[in-house]
Amino acid sequence: MDKIKVRDKEFKKAIPCEDIQQAIKKVAEKINRDFEGKETPLFLSILNGAFMFTADVFKELTISSEVSFVKFSSYRGTATSGKVKELIGLNEDLTGRHVIIMEDIVDTGLTINNVVRQIKTYNPKDVKIATMLFKPDACVEEVSLDYVGMEIPNEFIVGYGLDYDGLGRNYKDIYKVVS
Ligand code: 5GP
């Protein structure tokens, strides 16, 4: 399908699944190399968006690996820095662990930096970030991304786990908004 409609918006195919899978393999290979012979890392997948990325990378891992899923509480406070949301669902002890955060997309960078700040309060050994997509032109924060599947232009996209108003996560390709 080259075009899809999600709710009131039309989207056209921007990244075919073959390119996504190639990017996934590269990310996984790099993680395999970096963690070979090290203590088992814990992958922390940020729901909902990162579930497909996490599953696909995980299938390509040859190192000893653990995965857990967390999400943000619906609570939204306000602060000068913008949205402040709390991570929930973390049941593992992160003390002294290698943690790899799995994110679907880094846009402004606010969300990922918020995740890293919260994870660091649990005293992990180190924290790395893997993101399927990165929009460098939208990023307003200083971010340190260790594994990036693809850099994309500053356009709204859906598919491959990413939604528009709850829908569109199911597509294996990525689509960008046209109208
Ligand atoms: P940031 O805090 O970096 O601006 O945004 C990160 C979050 O915003 C992502 O985890 C994702 O939920 C959402 N997001 C950012 N850009 C897009 C996009 O193009 N499409 C969709 N569906 N979500 C996006």
pLDDT in tens, 5-43: 999 999 999 999 999 999 999 999 999 999 999 999 999
Q: How many whole angstroms separate alpha carbon 35 and alpha carbon 157?
A: 31
Residue 71: pLDDT band (50, 70, 90) is very high
Dihedral angle sign, alpha carbons of residues 169, 16, 134, 50: positive
pLDDT score, position 79 = 47
Q: CB of 141 closer than 6 A to ligand 1? A: no
Catalytic residue among 104, 107, 137, 173: 107
Mean pLDDT of all residues in 67-93:
77
DSSP 49-85: TTHHHHHHHHHT--S--EEEEEEE-S--EEETTEEE-
pLDDT score, position 77 = 47
pLDDT score, position 84 = 67
Q: What is the pLDDT of residues 124-159, one digit of tens each?
A: 999 999 999 999 999 999 999 999 999 999 999 999
Q: CB of 105 closer than 6 A to ligand 1? A: yes
